[in-house]
Amino acid sequence: MQTLGYLKRTLGHGLLYKKCQKADRGPDGKLAFCRDSNTLEVHSDASFGPGGERSHQGLLAVWAGGA
């Protein structure tokens, strides 16, 4: 239900795809590979709930510059 609420609140948001630049190696220029439309980047993070709290996890996938 939270996902549907988020989508309802962000109807004006969208993805912007543009031509990739050969020299695009991230904001700091430190990526080991150039980002392009054929590269899928996946980033993850997790918190295992120390002290009995609930665990959380997240995943972000970026393809052709859009998350």
pLDDT tens-digit profile of 19-59? 656 566 667 766 666 666 777 888 898 888 777 788 888 99
CA–CA separation, 55 and 49 (whole Å): 4
Residue-level pLDDT at 19: 60
> For residue 8, is pLDDT > 60?
yes
Residue at 55 is within a domain: yes
Residue at 11 is within a domain: no
> For residue 66, is pLDDT > 80?
no
Residue at 44 is within a domain: yes
Residue at 39 is within a domain: yes
Residue at 66 is within a domain: yes
Residue-level pLDDT at 36: 67
- The answer to whether 20 and 36 have CB atoms below 8 angstroms apart is yes
Domain count, the chain: 1
Residue at 65 is within a domain: yes
Residue at 15 is within a domain: no
Domain of residue 47: give its range: 35-67
Mapped onto helix, strand or coil, the DSSP state of residue 7 is: helix
Predicted TM-score (pTM) of this structure: 0.44
CA–CA separation, 48 and 55 (whole Å): 4
CA–CA separation, 23 and 44 (whole Å): 25
CA 6, 11, 14: angle at the middle one, nearest 5?
A: 100
